[in-house]
Amino acid sequence: MHYLVGDLGHLFVITSFITALISSFAYLKASTILDLQKQEEWRWNGMISFYLHAVSVFGVCVTLFIIISKHYFEYHYAYNYSDLKLPSYYLISTFWNGQEGSFLLWMFWHAILGIILILTNKFWEAPVMTVFCLVQAFLASMILGVVLPGLEFKIGSSPFILLRDAMHDAPIFQAQPEFIPKDGQGLNPLLQNYWMVIHPPTLFLGFALTVVPFSYCMAGLWLKKYSDWIRPALPWTLVGCGILGLGILMGGYWAYETLNFGGYWNWDPVENAVYVPWLILVASLHTMITYKNSETALKASIILVISVFISILYSTFLTRSGILGESSVHSFTDLGLSGQLLLYLLFFMIGAIVLSIVRWGNIPSIEKEASVYSREFWIFIGATTLCLMGFQVLAGTSIPVVNSILSAFGFEKKLAPPTDAIAFYSKFQIWFAIAVGILSAVGQFFWWKKIDRKILLNQLFVPAIIALLVSVVVVNIVKVFNLPYALLLLAGFFTIFANAKILFGLLKASPTLSGGAIAHIGVGMMLIGIMFSAGYSRVVSLNNTGLQISKEFSKEFNRDNLLLFIHEPRTMWGFDIEYLGERLEPRYHTGFIRKSDIHQTADKNLVIAKRDMKIGSKAYQANDTIRVQGENTFYEIELRRGNKKYQLFPRAQINPEMGGLLASPDIYRSVTADLYTHVSSVMDPSEGEEWSKLEELRVKQSQEFFANDYVGVLESVDRIYNVFGIELTDQDVAVKAKIRLQGEKGDYIAEPVFLIRDKMVGRIPDDVSDLGIRVTLMNIHPETNEFSIGLNTRQKDWVVIKAMEKPYINVLWIGTLVLMVGFGMAMSRRIREFKKMKAKGLE
Amino acid sequence: MKKSHILLLVVIAVAIGVIVSTADDASTYVGFSEAWAMSTSGNNKEIHVVGQLKKDPNGHILGIRQGEDRVSFSFIMVDDEGKEQQVNYSQPMPPDFTRSEKVVVIGSYKGDVFNASKIILKCPSKYQEENVNA
């Protein structure tokens, strides 16, 4: 038992909580005391406590990582989320697989951001860090894992809890308190994906970044510096928009590659919980920029910045309190933190609202109405649209909360989320998206504070006409005969062309300012890409044989799926498509192994090579042991057109514990469309195979023969001294025949064994599943130098696949990259601005 | 009327539209008896039913039948009012299905059986897990 590391970790957790509180208090003093000397002293205290806090947070991370990477399975966290087989890069994702670890990840980013804040902005340090540390203290309390004596009230859930304490009812710990499991439960195979290594840190960095503008806003209201906070807060908002957006898209991309629901977005509450804050964050970015340029929209900025942070807290509450339990497929399990999370949400919500109301009358605002031909008017409409867009998603996602509130007031719990989430959200979101497209074209033209109707129409005329023409052409060529889809296409093109015009103008004058135009071009491309890939996704694996795959299947299944027998080519989507057999994946390097080239062992993660082969970059010799990812089977499918060949490897996890088939797609990417393919039914290895009657033939060494229409040759027969790990005695005799079978796609080796043990004959046949042949060494005839070989055949291997075409999905991914480039350019511009201000001593 | 007032009215109108549509599209939690009544009266809207898997006194699950193709299965569910019902699901058994303490099925009646288009599970939290494989 390694108690020390866990105790140390727990100590760090407690220290981090206390230092966050102390730091907040010291900074509070520093913000309110008037005496300059004392002010400096308190600031110093606050800073030191925050550094101590940051050290404790890093300490927690390091100790937790030691527990995971050293495989201390006496700890609940290591036991539940990792095992000995995990490669080291997935040990990192183990870190945030549990809820405690994801809180920790969030705290980690806060600690780093706090240090940056302290180092960069002396003027705002004290008031901003007061709020910031308070947020951090609440977060630290979530992993505190301390039971208040006398009250039986548990604060937080510690990641350092021992397995025996987490499962104190388990009989093994009653009998043996010192028991340590040999291996852990392992990481969910679906999460063993490189996107799951980088997606959560990105997302949580985005979450963490939203707290900075919020702290600035609170500090500004508190110190009655109603407008000064916007300038230092703006770059943070901008970075937050970029990072959170990137995190969301990575999540979507992971879902597209790994899950088999057929898309990148499923309107699941967990996805909505990050989408809504992001929309509001983008809206707040726009109003803050407006304020910086024209001193308007200050009140709107304050409301939005507060709303962003509240929506982040609300999302955290939604996904972690267990309240979604009956409406989300993959919400977190309930750790009993719902009360604490609600307190966290209400504390900052009520605090921020009360502070705003108290100060509201004093916030300067411009009485004059914004003109219809002003930048701020259009940006304001745009921000409002984004907020309504978020509101619609929030309304649908919050149904379980409404239910809980209603039942708290004695109403019977009745409402459930809409059954068809995609239809429910899409029917509104598409119209909002059209508005966003049009607004981001028009709004961008108000670079100058005011332009009149004539100039505006003049400027917009060309891009509008081009957009209209291009849209008409595309609508007719691609047949987008659906009004909202066609309008979305038009809005997307309008944004692209309008912003392209601005971009060309800027490239000559001041290229550093072009971030906004580039970002909006990215948005336009994303709208178009989403419209096509989601709106015109269609099934291409249509069963056109006229034969049912099985009468057990539903009508839709028989229509939309394709049965492929091994080595029997069919046509699909203009390709010849051929199933080539089952493959395994080596655990520690890339490549695929033909299942027919290996012997299985009792451990599904260990196989033995039948022949010399090169897998990826690694060469194996016959009888080498290969470590594989035993739970995964890949189905190699070849696409051919002309003399071009492409391989697809859709995956299935067959797991009796999971009771079925867990399919992951593989995607063939072409310029204009993706072919998204996953298996929808596979052969069950546990079901007995039906073999034909045994056919026996006598052959000599090197003699060719026919087996199930394939040419076979008996290459050698050798005496062996152990059979699959069993040592034989002197009295026993065992021989192994090596038979080479020539398949359509290369040779296969079958190695049946004939043995005499304790004077009894035993035969161990060998199957070549790709060819559907079982080979048995029946007998040896030394008198004629011949061998009897038994052959059984069976129905060939098969797989049922479903394939979908996702047209123009690349437009979406390219648009994403363009958007990120735009964000990056805008960020570097703001950072340069900040440095200039700092050099002048203004920050 | 000022422009800002018009804008405010538009925003309020859209917000009300969203709320009304959400309330309208929201499904409902009902028991099997009510779902049956709805379906016989011609209402085929999909609904949510909450319940548990049928278990014998020793906690073994009863009535799970795999479809021959292994891409579908059926099971017996007991709703919160205690009514038993066979539920068909045309997809493989979801992960952790047999360990669930609560099941929500979304779907509608087709004849005598309830056809689920989606299943949501409420699994016991890992802390209550009782078995450690030694």
Task: Report residue A579's pLDDT band, with 50, 70 and 90 as the boundaries.
Answer: very high
| Cβ-based neighbours of B102, under 8 Å, separated by 6 or more | A325, A326, B50, B51, B52, B121, B122
pLDDT of the residue at A99:
85
Candidate from A327, A413, A415 with C-beta closest to B120: A327
pTM for the model: 0.89
Q: Say whether residue A353 is in contact with chain B using an 8 A CB cutoff.
A: no
Using a CB-CB cut-off of 8 Å, the residues of chain B touching A419 are: 27, 45-48, 106, 117-118
Contact check, Cβ <8 Å, B71/A661 = yes
Whether B68 sits inside 8 A of A552 (CB atoms) is yes
Instruction: Give the integer Cα–Cα distance in Å for A440 and A436.
Output: 6
Question: How far does the CA of residue B20 sit from the closest CA of chain A (Å)?
Answer: 10
Interface test with A, best of B91, B127, B129 (most A CBs within 10 A): B127
User: In A, which residues are within 8 Å of B1 by CB distance?
Assistant: none
Å between A624 CA and nearest CA of chain B: 30
Could you write out the DSSP letters of every residue in A584-623? E-BSSS---EEGGGEEE-SSTTEEEESS-EEETTEEE-TT
DSSP A647: E
Q: Which of A165, A196, A205 is nearest to A94 (CA)?
A: A196
- Residues of B within 8 A of A658 (CB-CB) are 93, 95-96
CA–CA distance, A169 with B128 (Å, rounded to integer)? 8
User: What is the rounded distance in angstroms from the CA atom of residue A504 to the CA atom of residue A708?
Assistant: 68
Convert the pLDDT of each residue in A408-466 to its tens digit. 887 776 788 888 888 899 999 999 999 999 999 988 877 654 567 787 788 888 999 99
Contact between chains at B11 and A424 (C-beta distance less than 8 A) = no
Instruction: Judge contact between A659 and B92, C-beta under 8 A.
Output: yes
A625-683 pLDDT tens trace: 999 988 889 999 999 998 899 999 998 876 544 445 678 899 999 999 999 999 888 87
Q: Among A253-267, A623-637, A719-733, B26-40, whose mean pLDDT is lowest?
A: A719-733
SS3 A789: strand
Residue B77 to chain A, least CA–CA distance (Å): 16
Instruction: Return the residue matching tokens 């866990």.
Output: A6
What is the model's pLDDT at position A546? 74
- Report the mean per-residue pLDDT for chain A: 88
Which chain B residues have a beta carbon less than 8 Å from that of A557? 71, 90
Cβ distance B28 to A557 less than 8 Å, yes or no, reads no
Is there a contact between B67 and A552 if contact means CB atoms under 8 Å apart? yes
pLDDT in tens, A124-149: 999 999 999 999 999 999 999 888 77
Asked if A326's CB is within 8 angstroms of B48's CB, the reply is yes
Residues A211 and A117: their CA atoms lie apart, in Å, by: 12
ipTM greater than 0.85: no
Higher pLDDT, residue A710 or A203: A203
Confidence of residue A333 (pLDDT cuts 50, 70, 90): low
3-state helix, strand, coil in chain A (%, to 5): 50, 20, 30
Radius of gyration of chain B (CA): 21
By CA distance, what is B72's nearest residue in A? Answer: A553
669-708 in chain A: CB under 8 A from chain B: 680-681, 684
Judged against a pLDDT cut of 80, whether residue A119 lies above it is answered with yes
Name the pLDDT band for A346 (thresholds 50, 70, 90).
very high
* HSE (side-chain half, CA atoms, 13 Å) at A248: 24
User: A82-86: which pairs have CB atoms within 8 A and are 24 or more residues apart?
Assistant: A82/A184, A82/A186, A82/A187, A83/A183, A83/A184, A83/A185, A83/A186, A83/A187, A84/A183, A84/A184, A85/A186, A85/A587, A85/A605, A85/A627, A86/A186, A86/A187, A86/A192
Q: What is the pLDDT of residue A326?
A: 61
Q: Which of A167, A369, A388 sits opposite B2 (nearest CB)?
A: A369
Phi and psi torsions of A504, nearest 5°: -65, -40
> Residue B132 and residue A396: Cβ atoms within 8 Å?
no
Chain B residues touching residue A553 (CB < 8 angstroms): 69, 71-72
CA distance B106 to chain A (A): 7
A window 363-402, beta carbon within 8 A of B: 369-370, 372, 377, 381, 384, 388, 391-392, 395-396, 399
B44–chain A Cβ distance below 8 A for any pair: no
B88 touches chain A (CB under 8 A): no
Is the pLDDT at B129 greater than 50? The verdict is: no
Q: Which two tokens stand for residue A199?
A: 């997606």
β-sheet bridge partners, residue A695:
A791
Contacts of B97 in chain A (CB under 8 A): 659
Q: Between residues A414 and A319, which one has the greater pLDDT?
A: A319
Tell me the chain A residues in contact with residue B123 when contact means C-beta distances shorter than 8 Å.
Answer: 333
Nearest to B70 among A325, A327, A681 (CB): A681
Which of B3, B102, B122 lies nearest to residue A369, judging by beta carbons? B3
A331 band by pLDDT with thresholds 50, 70 and 90: very low
Six token digits for residue A763: 């035969």
Proportion of chain A above pLDDT 70, given as a percent: 95
B125: which chain A residues are within 8 Å (Cβ-Cβ)?
Answer: 333-335
Residues of B whose CB is below 8 A from A268: none
Most confident of the following: A353-362, A647-656, A728-737, A830-839: A353-362
B11 touches chain A (CB under 8 A): yes
Tokens encoding A755: 């043995």
Reported in sequence order, the residue ranges of A138-287 that DSSP labels E, i.e. its strands, are: 146-148, 153-155
Return the minimum-mean-pLDDT range out of A608-612, A744-748, A781-785, B94-98. Answer: B94-98
Is A84 near chain B, with CB under 8 Å? no
Using the predicted structure, report yes or no on whether residue A555 has a pLDDT greater than 80: no
pLDDT bracket for residue A336 (50, 70, 90): confident
**pLDDT, tens digit, 9 for 90 and up, residues A736-756:** 899 999 887 788 889 898 888
Q: Which of A185, A324, A326 to substitute to test the interface with B, most B CBs within 10 Å? A: A326
